[in-house]
Structure 1
Amino acid sequence: MTIPIDLYARRDCRVTSTAGNCTTNPKAISGTWFPVKAQSSIQDNDVSFITEMEESCNELPLKVDVQVRLHTGSDFIFPGSGITQRTDDSDSPYGGVVYKYKADSSIRIMVPKRENGKASGVSVFSGESSWNGVTQVNETVADVRYRVWCRCNFPTPAFESNWTNIDVKNKNYLEFSHGLGIMPDMVIVQLRHGSTDQDWVTDVMGSMSTSRTGKEKSGLIYAYNSRTVRIWAPDKGNLFNLADGWGLSTDKDTIISGQVKIYVWSYLMNIKSKIITIDSSTSIPNLQVPLPVQLNVDQDILYFTISPTSGENRGFAFSGMGSVQNADPNTQYGGVMYSYSSDKIRLWRPKLDGRHFLVYVSSDWGGGHHTQSAESVIARISVWKAGQICLIPPSQRTTPTTTKSYTTTLMTSYSSINVGNSSVRDLKKEELWYDRSVTVPVLWLVVGGGGLLLIIFLSISIYCLCKEKSSNEVFPHNDADA
């Protein structure tokens, strides 16, 4: 499919609450990388600063992405977070860059800073010996920038909820039926720290949670499948907590009730995706994986999810995280951390020992609904190329199926393409790559009818395809929860 050149330009968002059929470049990218330094006592701006988005959406942004890179000059990007799950009360290390934003185009970015406990927080942390990965990261200094997409920079969502109340006492589990019947291509969940358009908003993200109690337990978890979006809040904890161990003392922001809003996208073409399995047998070299297509880290989107292969949330997709906030061996926790460059993604996972998991939802979250302790997940790595991700026309939408399957060969370096869950002695693995470009030839499937009708239908179809290739249909990916 040829994309009109104007789709690569930033749309005029002065008319709000409008969407197009395709993605565009971000509406705003900060003109500079801002330095941050966890635990800094020299400049307040090192641990917390507020800035104005260089181009406004004139309404609440649809998607905000804070990118973090190591000050040492690495090419890898670590995503910022909209949640905190730790305070400084423990000397167990933790890390992260946290952000929140408003409809008035304000955005505040914060890193760990000791309040009255231990100076154990850093800007980027990969879990040290408690987590496995191709490298270990423990960095106090980092550089950050933001990217912003308005509603007019994205295709129209297939499902959009109203702002819905949530709290840590009486309404700590929510379930939304989006009714699409196929696995969404992307889901965004926003948490509003109140009930007005003037309140701060953060992005809900992560499969990462902990068994910590009281004020040390904060954040939200969400997951989705072909029918439902689930959201868990901590029982008697916080939805969001900056009061202890993050930013400046003036940043205190403890939220026990607020509102959430959900956006769901589906039936999009040209998303390049790759599926791998992660479990206890996944070797460390296989935690670095080539991307399915080259990524422009300035303009494109990397979307990463993991889905348990068993349990009450089998097939539900949970998002990954950009920094480890739980590595204390005395507590239970879960999650998968990731970073990415223009051509590969790196993953970190806890050591799976019966107490630490890839997805962990304990009975202390969401009133005990749909608990999960997963040691095996299917990870999906998707690249959204700016200007190329478009809605599939309704007339071309069909039953989900895999469109391509490739066999690859194991390499011994850390850039190994083999990302299976078996021994590294196996030389060949099969990976699933999904390419929903409208230029992909389609195998027409016929349900019912006799042999004669089948032959006639195939003859007509072949004739039409030869005459007009533009009639090809596009298949969304499989629903993993089958």
Structure 2
Amino acid sequence: MKAQVGTNTTLLTVAHELGEAPLLVDVQVSVTSGGNKGYIFPGSGCRARDDDQDEGYGGIIYIYNDVYIKVSSPIKANDHLGRCVYTGKSPYWEGPYSTDSYTAKVRVRAWKKSTLPSADFTETGILISRGTPSYVERSHGLSDYPTLVISRTKFPASLKTYPDYYSDSVGASMGMYDGTSTQNAFVVYGFSKNNIRAWAPSASTDCKLLL
């Protein structure tokens, strides 16, 4: 995939042929040169930020439904260009082997529910939205840290674009905005020995959170 050069290379649509929406999706991204050649960078279920700020950014994101997995890289809307893989630079991130790449190789994997172990805790159809209720907490009842936790949002069926698609939640907050021209658009989640917690940003649209 390439960033910034048009929809033929900035949007990848994969037909997964599972006959249902996958329960687990894994998008892996690698660069072909530089100090991080051979390293895998996981894709994300949301955009980190957009190009409204004059700062470097990057990332491969994905959504999915019962037919397709759609993978996207940043496209050009102004002169603030996003990359496929961007590990940052000083003073924000320090360390060797930085990557600033407009091209990347992508691998997509998916598992349907019947091929995974049965979940010890499941709850679906929880409404979470901007404002109230923007926070959810549930006791999973395991009395220990879960090995695998899947938290995802389902887009409303009423959306004109990508209705009934899923987006995976993220494990930490990413780019944050407090202006009127930009929006925060992801759900953050975390878990302990007892509970699962999830937060929706105040600028997010209404969505269903599936744990």
* Structure-2 separation of matches of 1:44 and 1:207: 29
What residue identity is the alignment partner of 1:158? D
Partner of 1:125: 86
Over 3 Å off, 4+ runs: none
In 2, are the aligned partners of 1:127 and 1:136 still within 8 Å (CA)?
Answer: yes
1:72 to 18, 27, 33: 33
The alignment status of 1:171 with 2:120, answered yes or no, reads no
What residue identity is the alignment partner of 1:109? V
The alignment status of 1:222 with 2:189, answered yes or no, reads yes
Partner of 1:137: 99
Residues 45-80 of structure 1, C-alpha deviations (whole Å, 9 max, x = no match): 111132211x41x22211000111113382111100
| Shift of residue 176, structure 1, vs aligned partner | 1.3
* Structure-2 separation of matches of 1:182 and 1:47: 41
| Shift of residue 86, structure 1, vs aligned partner | 1.0
TM (norm. structure 2) is 0.89
1:92 to 26, 42, 55: 55
In 1, are the aligned partners of 2:48 and 2:58 still within 8 Å (CA)?
Answer: no
What residue identity is the alignment partner of 1:120? L
Partner of 1:460: none
Partner SS for 1:99? strand
Identity %: 31
The alignment status of 1:61 with 2:22, answered yes or no, reads yes
In 2, are the aligned partners of 1:192 and 1:201 still within 8 Å (CA)?
Answer: yes
The alignment status of 1:233 with 2:200, answered yes or no, reads yes
Partner of 1:354: none
Partner of 1:332: none
* Structure-1 separation of matches of 2:28 and 2:171: 16
1:81 to 44, 47, 67: 44
* Structure-1 separation of matches of 2:126 and 2:174: 22
Q: Which runs of 5 or more residues in structure 2 are unaligned?
A: none
Residues 277-325 of structure 1, C-alpha deviations (whole Å, 9 max, x = no match): xxxxxxxxxxxxxxxxxxxxxxxxxxxxxxxxxxxxxxxxxxxxxxxxx
In 1, are the aligned partners of 2:58 and 2:74 still within 8 Å (CA)?
Answer: yes
Partner SS for 2:20? coil
* Structure-1 separation of matches of 2:157 and 2:127: 8
141 and 210 in structure 1: CA distance in 2 versus 1, 3 angstrom threshold: closer
* Structure-2 separation of matches of 1:133 and 1:101: 34
171 and 109 in structure 1: CA distance in 2 versus 1, 3 angstrom threshold: same
In 2, are the aligned partners of 1:192 and 1:260 still within 8 Å (CA)?
Answer: yes
Aligned length: 202
| Shift of residue 220, structure 1, vs aligned partner | 1.4
The alignment status of 1:213 with 2:162, answered yes or no, reads no
The alignment status of 1:44 with 2:3, answered yes or no, reads no
In 1, are the aligned partners of 2:52 and 2:80 still within 8 Å (CA)?
Answer: no
* Structure-2 separation of matches of 1:206 and 1:229: 12
Larger Rg: 1
TM (norm. structure 1) is 0.40
More helix by share: 1
| Shift of residue 168, structure 1, vs aligned partner | 1.1
Partner SS for 2:150? strand
| Shift of residue 120, structure 1, vs aligned partner | 2.3
